[in-house]
Amino acid sequence: MSEKKKWYSLDLGLNRKKSDTACGCGKTEGGCGSHKPEMTDDAFLEAAVNASIGEEVRKDGFEQVFDVKMDRRSAFKKLTASLLIGAGAVSTSCSVISGDDTKEKAQIDWEEQFKGNYKLMNDEEKKATVDRLMRSYELRTGKNISMTHENAEEDVLFGYAFNISKCQGYMDCVNACIEENNQDRNSQMQYIRIHEMKDGKGFNFNEADDNYYHEVPAEGHFYMGTQCFHCDNPPCVEVCPVQATWREDDGLVVIDYDWCVGCRYCMAACPYDGRRFNWSKPEVPENEINKNQHYLGNRMRKKGVMEKCTFCVQRSRKGQNPACVEACPTGARIFGNLLDPNSTIRWVLENKKVFRLKEDLGTEPKFWYFMD
Amino acid sequence: MNRKYYIYIFTCTFLVVFFSCKHNEGEYHNLNDKIKAVSKTYHGTLSSEVLIDGIKTLEITEGEHTFLIPERKSQIKSFACIECHNVGLDKLQSKDIKKAHWEITLAHADENTMNCATCHNGADMNSLNTLTGSKVDFNKSYKLCSQCHSSQFEDWKGGAHGKKVAGWAPPRASYTCVNCHNPHDPSFKSRWPSRYNTEQVEAPQAESGH
Ligand code: SF4
Ligand code: SF4
């Protein structure tokens, strides 16, 4: 690893071959007070994260943002939670009882807990954290995943176009998105929403039916999909107090799930209902996990962090289309490079009558709607 | 005195105007300006070539658009047609033999507008024919569709109608009409959505202890 690290890291003795005393107190067995009976790592993490989220009610959408109570006690609880996680890692790695695997796990947990912001990392540091996360997954589950950290490609600015006259409300895109992005199967957080709207009423989101379940397309209705629009001037980025979310050079607005403190300011700032919060621990059955992951994309999230559509960064930075584009049977979804004058998305922008939602806000969403 | 005053006002106005319209390099009034300004044909490292590897394609040029479409003939189960249709259609008609293609019914346009012969050539089953009777290869069947569906054809050439075979990166490979539409029954059918949308299940509130 490089010399000029931007954070402090603790050597817990894994790199030293073998020291005769595993604990600072000099005793090899119990008695110094730091060898407490141990909680399993996962149980501990769970408890700490629970403490930091508190007892807020599980709600969806804007209600989550505007209905939050916070007293001194819970604020203090939140502050202590992170320290506890770190302390847990130290106590495990100091322990003489735990085996090599447990110690390695603890070392990884420590380094992950106190690593820097991904946005500030150089390639080497990015690789290191991705390697740690893969190793950690292996240690925990015995299975391998492949996680990458491709940076934004030069001369690329991603954009998206949605054909309102083509969408039939089949919801195949939502299914594909959930599977591709390892979304929690219980909470129905779904990055994509398909709104069923009445013909002749314009785009009236208040009267739209978001929970239709009947044969589609329904007579006299049209369908309109929304998701994160990857604004070029994103208000969600502006408000983040810890810079856990930012705009990448290829226009993707991304989140570092390990840096996010779950304050949900960004959710309140987004005018398009583009962000989703993990109110509970996201659960994905082991055999359904998509193992092709990107650090900023579909890697496994934890309770209490924000997530949202990333235009499938794990796919788009490899030249592929996002999963929703590929899954749509009607061809209503078009994705491409806005900077390339020969791309199909540019043809759509230049030759169809396109519009964006709430254009007057100046957020410059890179998501256009058009009709045949 | 008065003159000094005027000069002072003039200088101030000039300075304000001069600085107010300044943008830093790389900043634009809006996204459209920016896209136009930094526009550049993509020659980067990403390519769709690996993604369409293994799919037989052919390159077509229509107007100012040149792109790949999937090859069709190898995908048709009983191609070449002349393996059965070795004589003209009129000579193949007989009462007693088992009919081929019996499962095909035409649900495309009404009978006054089209029948089998609108696209198929009874004298040469291996290729299709246009309204005026000129030959069209099965691989380029979009040429038949475009005779009537001209606006869809324009959109398809540009990329606003239809789907890409694989990624967004060049080279562009687009599905052709018959990859999504069955030419004998081309409309999309109504069906059940593949899942519920958003908050269908009520969030469990009791367990949080309120
Ligand atoms: S749509 Fe919302 S979440 Fe997405 S970039 Fe814009 S403001 Fe941020
Ligand atoms: S929830 Fe996370 S990403 Fe959003 S503003 Fe708070 S810290 Fe930033």
A176: confidence class by pLDDT, cuts 50, 70, 90: very high
Can you list the alpha helix ranges (DSSP code H) found in chain A?
Answer: 41-53, 62-66, 72-94, 100-113, 123-141, 172-180, 235-239, 265-269, 313-316, 323-327, 344-351
Binary contact (B160, A347; C-beta < 8 A): yes
- A244 vs A82 pLDDT, higher one: A244
Q: What does the mean pLDDT of chain A come to?
A: 83
Give residue A331 CA to ligand 1 midpoint distance, Å. Answer: 24
Q: What is the pLDDT of residue A275?
A: 95
| Whether the Cβ atoms of residue A17 and residue A28 lie closer than 8 Å to each other | no
What pLDDT sits at residue B171? 93
DSSP label at residue A191: S
Residue B102's pLDDT is: 77
- Report the relative pairing of strands A158-163 and A367-370 from DSSP bridges: parallel
pLDDT classification of A87: cutoffs 50, 70, 90: low
User: Is B106 an interface residue toward A (CB < 8 Å)?
Assistant: no
CB spacing of B158 vs A212 below 8 angstroms = no
Q: What is the pLDDT of residues B69-82, one digit of tens each?
A: 999 888 887 788 87
Asked if the model's pLDDT at residue A156 lies above 80, the reply is yes
Cα A307 to Cα A31, A176, A300, A303, B28, distances in angstroms = 45, 17, 11, 11, 29
Compute the average pLDDT of residues A113-141: 92
Residue ranges of chain B with pLDDT lower than 50? 200-210
**Per-residue pLDDT averaged across A105-127, rounded?**
89
Which of the 8 DSSP states describes residue A218? P
**Amino acid A29: pLDDT:** 44
Weakest mean pLDDT among A71-80, A161-170, B53-62: A71-80
pLDDT for residue A57? 45
Of A56, A193, A334, the CB nearest to B198: A193
Q: Which residue has the higher pLDDT, A17 or A274?
A: A274
Give the residue with greater pLDDT, A233 vs B83: A233
**Substitution site in A255, A278, A279 for ligand 2 pocket (most atoms within 8 Å of beta carbon):** A255
Q: Which among A94, A95, A109 is positioned nearest to A41, based on CA atoms?
A: A109
CA A130 to chain centre: 15
Confidence band of A104 (pLDDT split at 50, 70, 90): confident
Structure tokens at A66: 């505007």
CB-based contact (8 Å) between B34 and chain A? yes
pLDDT for residue A24 is more than 70:
no
> What DSSP string describes B83-148?
GT--S-HHHH--SSSPPSSTT----SS-TTT--HHHHB-TT-TTSEE-TT--EE-GGGTHHHHHHH
- A178 vs A165: CA distance, rounded Å: 24
Lowest-confidence pick of A75-79, A326-330, B79-83: A75-79
The predicted pLDDT at position B195 comes to: 85
Which pLDDT band holds residue A219 (cuts at 50, 70, 90)? Answer: very high
Indicate yes or no: CB of B201 within 8 angstroms of CB of A169: no
Interface of B with A in 175-204 (CB under 8 A): 180, 188, 190-201, 203-204
The Å distance, Cα B163 to ligand 2 centre, comes to 35
Instruction: For residue range B28-71, list pLDDT tens digits in order.
Output: 788 988 888 888 888 888 988 889 888 999 999 999 999 999 99
Cα gap A90→A72, rounded to integer Å: 28
Name residues whose C-beta falls within 8 Å of residue A50's C-beta, 6 or more positions apart in sequence: A303
Cα(A97)–Cα(B43) distance, integer angstroms: 57
Nearest CA in chain B to A162: B160
The distance from CA A192 to its chain's CA centroid, rounded to whole angstroms, is: 14
How far, in Å, are A175, A213, B181 from residue A216 at the CA level? 16, 8, 18
Secondary structure of residue B10 in the 3-state scheme: helix
Please tell me whether residue B15 adopts helix, strand or coil conformation. Answer: helix
The predicted structure's pLDDT at residue A32: 44
B12: tokens are 């101030």
Interatomic CA distance for residues A106 and A100, integer angstroms: 10
CA separation for the pair A247, A229 (Å, rounded):
12
A93: tokens are 């790695």
Q: Residue A20: what pLDDT?
A: 43
Q: What structural domains and CATH numbers belong to chain A?
A: 2-116 (no CATH), 151-372 (3.30.70.20)
Average pLDDT over residues A320-329: 96
Residues 292-321 of A with CB under 8 A from B: 316-321
User: Is the pLDDT score of A49 beyond 70?
Assistant: no
Beta-carbon separation of B40 and A340 below 8 A = yes
Sort A152 into a burial class: Cβ within 10 Å, 0-12 / 13-18 / 19+: middle
CA distance A115 to A79: 18
